[in-house]
Amino acid sequence: MTAYEQMCFDNATVFSAVRGNLTTRTRQEFASFADAQNYAATFDDKKTMIYAITAQGNNAHICNA
């Protein structure tokens, strides 16, 4: 993880789980990284992108789950 990604993760106010391509994209927001990971696990395909988003609007892709 880069320093920027770590900063976003450490200061995140929300974690966003994003699935799909440009035409079918869906997004769910979660209060914790664990909640976002649990949501992604329901699909069991490692195609959910999880982003950390700070109150200032900074965001970083953390992982695919």
Distance in Å from the first CA to the final CA of the chain: 15
* pLDDT band, very low/low/confident/very high, at 12 (cuts 50, 70, 90): very high
Q: What pLDDT does residue 26 have?
A: 96
State mean pLDDT over 48-63: 98
**Which tokens sit at 4?**
């920027």
* 25-59 CB burial, b ≥16 within 10 A, e <16: eeeeebeebeebbebbeeeeeeebbbbbbbeeeeb
Domain boundaries, the chain: 3-64
Q: What pLDDT does residue 53 have?
A: 98
* Global pTM value: 0.92
